[in-house]
């Protein structure tokens, strides 16, 4: 016979065990948007212990709504290998573009990241960082609802060798480091210029402070790069670049 208590205990026991296990990770990714999911997937695939902390209930970041809620996403051909790696369908458009379905893209990135070994903690917000001896050593977390209603509740800590800021327009982790150190002034992204934006966002993604890497729109926000709108190749490629840099250490 099904028991209420078993349902409750099953949830509490399993989640608590996992959270405890993930209090120490190789890589803590903040934000489950396209850059965070690609980076997390590639790192987990190579055996790294990766946790992604996502403040919202649904991972996927800005993918779901495509452009102006037309739920299609454009990917330039340079990033075709990422769509192929994740087995995501697309329709070629002109010579340079591939069009993917936003819902398939978001759900598949999430699913493949999880199956590769990434642990996604949703509803958890990164509110601070650990800095020791001039290096970011972890993230300070709390439940999103605690932050939303401004409850006076102290956070907990996850220790990480590397922290990745994949928080998109928020550039949330970099802003925290900027507040605490002389590093990392956030300039705010520039006006739309797709070609430049897609090139520069990949070029500039990488380590910005010892232990802290930026990628995706966080990079554009930090360096004042132009924005690109609903084209996602640069998000994938910047996540890939950061994952490769970390793996090379
Ligand atoms: C936990 C947090 C916190 C926090 C935020 O915005 P995203 O999709 O991020 P990217 O950079 O991978 O992709 C950007 C893309 O979606 C986009 O907006 C583009 C291409 N815009 C172009 C343009 O011209 O505007 O996802 C970031 C995620 C979100 O899910 C947030 O909820 C989450 O990070 N997040 N999670 N703790 N402090 N802050």
Across 85-214, the runs of DSSP E, i.e. the strands, are: 91-93, 97-101, 119-122, 124-132, 135-143, 156-165, 190-192, 206-209, 212-214
Q: What is the rounded CA–CA span in Å between residue 242 and residue 103?
A: 25
**19 in a structural domain:** no
For residues 180 and 29, what is the distance between their CA atoms, to the nearest angstrom?
Answer: 20
14 within some domain: no
Terminal alpha carbon distance of the chain: 52
167 lines ligand 1 (CB under 6 A): yes
**What is the percentage of the chain residues whose pLDDT exceeds 90?**
100
pLDDT value for 6: 98
Q: Which pTM value belongs to this model? A: 0.98
Whether residue 134 lies inside any domain: the answer is no
Question: For residue 180, is it within any domain?
Answer: yes
CA 55 to chain CA centroid, nearest Å:
11
17 falls within a domain:
no
Does residue 16 belong to any structural domain of this protein?
no
Q: What is the CATH number of the domain that holds 73?
A: 3.50.50.60
Total domain count, the chain = 1
Ligand-binding site membership of 180 (annotated): no
- Taking CA atoms only, the protein residue closest to ligand 1 atom 15 is 62
Residue 36's pLDDT band, with cuts at 50, 70 and 90, is: very high
How is residue 234 annotated by DSSP? Answer: H
Residue 123 confidence (pLDDT): 98
Q: What are the tens digits of pLDDT across the range 103-148?
A: 999 999 999 999 999 999 999 999 999 999 999 999 999 999 999 9
Atom 39 in ligand 1: residue holding the nearest Cα: 167
4 inside domain: no
pLDDT at 66: 97
Q: List 124's β-bridge partners, or say none.
A: 143
Q: Domain for residue 13, yes or no?
A: no
Q: How far is CA 20 from the centre of its chain?
A: 21
pLDDT of residue 5: 98
**Dihedral sign from CA coordinates of 243, 86, 202, 68:** negative
Q: Taking Cα atoms as reference points, which of 213, 48, 214 lies closest to residue 116?
A: 48
Domain residues for the domain of 30 are: 26-44+53-128+139-248
Q: What residues pair up with 24 in beta bridges, in sequence order? A: 159
Count how many residues are written for the chain.
249
34 lines ligand 1 (CB under 6 A): yes
Asked if 64 contacts 106 with a C-beta cutoff of 8 angstroms, the reply is yes
């Amino acid at each position: 016979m099904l028991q209420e208590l078993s349902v409750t205990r099953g949830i509490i026991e399993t989640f608590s065990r996992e959270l405890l296990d993930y209090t120490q990770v190789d890589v803590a990714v903040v934000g489950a948007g396209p850059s965070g999911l690609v980076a997390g997937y590639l790192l987990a695939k190579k055996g790294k212990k990766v946790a992604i902390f996502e403040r919202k209930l649904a991972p996927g970041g800005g993918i779901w709504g495509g452009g102006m809620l037309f739920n299609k996403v454009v990917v330039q051909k340079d990033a075709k290998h990422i769509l192929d790696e994740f087995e995501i369908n697309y329709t070629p458009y002109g010579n340079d573009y591939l069009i993917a379905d936003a819902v398939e893209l978001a759900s598949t990135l999430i699913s493949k990241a999880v199956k590769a070994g990434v642990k996604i903690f949703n509803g958890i917000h990164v509110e601070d960082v650990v800095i020791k001896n001039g290096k970011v050593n972890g993230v300070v977390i709390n439940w999103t609802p605690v932050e939303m209603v401004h409850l006076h509740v102290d956070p907990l800590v996850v220790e990480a060798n590397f922290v990745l800021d994949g928080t998109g327009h928020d550039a949330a982790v970099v802003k925290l480091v900027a507040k605490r150190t002389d590093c990392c002034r956030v300039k705010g992204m520039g006006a739309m210029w797709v070609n430049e934006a897609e090139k520069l966002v990949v070029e500039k993604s990488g380590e910005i402070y010892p232990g802290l890497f930026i990628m995706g729109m966080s990079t554009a926000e930090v360096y004042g790069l132009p924005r690109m709108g609903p084209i996602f190749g640069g998000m994938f490629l910047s996540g890939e670049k950061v994952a490769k840099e970390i793996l090379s250490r």
